[in-house]
Amino acid sequence: MTDRDRRVAVAEEAARAGARVAYDRFRSDVPVEYKGEDDVVTEADRAAQRTVIDAVRESFPDDAIVGEEEDERKRVPEGGPTWVIDPIDGTHNYVRGIRTWATAVAAVVDGEPVAAATVCPALGDVYTADGDGAYRNGDPIAVSDVADPRRAAVDPTTWWDFDSRDEYARACEAIVTRFADMRRFGAAQVVLPMVAAGGLEGAISNLRVDPWDSVGGVFIVRQAGGRVTDLDGDRWRHDSAGLVASNGALHDEVLSAAREIDPVQGSEFTRGSER
């Protein structure tokens, strides 16, 4: 087994382990804490992240870890192997008893993902990606072939803070005036695999999206034949401003919608989150 094969296997194993911990507490009386005005966390998030880290450490004890909760790194280093973890993406859905949430794990080497696993236990879906392709429940998936905007559905995938609701409104307007429909699921690491599997034609944000909300899902989209860029149309990276994912055939239209939200100015950008 190659190093990459091991990382592919561990990403799925760790994501499944973390998802089991989170699912065991789903729709139970889990206390909710606020990390910010509208950013929630639960003990289920922390427990699931610890479980994922333990699973990773068994095989890769010296690798860097980027995680949403507690004191883990918050940025992906440019060099060396790294694991990017979101124990529960879509925590607002989780605490409301809505099934659209996931545990996501990505393996990154020198800043580029090489494996990803997104486990959605309440939906019964497991998305994975390796060097050969992307899969849902073990079966190969591919982006849709829709090339007509009037047949497309697009998701404004991140949540804008209360003082940026004008941007959220513009994102919605940009989508509904261009495409057949808009969907918003509140969990980027579920939305991006939906694009990969052909359930959506695109997902947009003008924000700098945190790596745990994006890296794994972006890799799954690309391995399914889709395209992901920043707001300039350049290849998306973990530190890019804006995230524009599409089936490729509609990328110019999806990118145009993202650019209408609001140009991001300066060297620091507001980070997107899920709720």
Is pTM beyond 0.75 here?
yes
| Nearest by Cα to 103 from 126, 82, 83 | 126
Q: Between residues 269 and 196, which one has the greater pLDDT? A: 196
Predicted local confidence at residue 264, as pLDDT: 47
Q: Supply the DSSP symbol for 183.
A: -
Query: What tokens does 196 get?
Result: 């990969």
Would you kindly state where each structural domain of the chain is located, as residue ranges? Answer: 3-140, 149-272
What is the C-alpha to C-alpha distance for residues 3 and 6, in angstroms, rounded to an integer?
5
> Widest CA span of the chain, in angstroms?
51
254-272, pLDDT tens digit by residue? Answer: 999 999 997 544 334 445 5
Predicted local confidence at residue 74, as pLDDT: 85
Through-space distance between the first and last CA atoms of the chain, rounded to whole angstroms: 39
Fold: same for 3-140 and 149-272: no
Predicted local confidence at residue 34, as pLDDT: 80
Domain 3-140 is found in CATH 3.40.50.300 = no
92-137, pLDDT tens digit by residue? Answer: 999 999 999 999 999 999 999 999 999 999 999 999 999 999 999 9
39 CB burial (10 A radius; 0-12, 13-18, 19+) = middle
- 268 CB contacts (<8 Å, ≥6 apart)? none
CATH architecture of 149-272: 3-Layer(aba) Sandwich (3.40)
Query: What tokens does 218 get?
Result: 């972006």
| Nearest by Cα to 236 from 198, 204, 269, 193 | 204
What is the tally of helices (H) and strands (E) in the chain?
A: 7, 16
Q: What percent of the chain is predicted at pLDDT more than 70?
A: 93
124 CB burial (10 A radius; 0-12, 13-18, 19+) = exposed
pLDDT surpasses 80 at 230: yes
Instruction: Provide the β-strand partners of residue 102.
Output: 89
**Residue 159's pLDDT band (boundaries 50, 70, 90)?**
confident
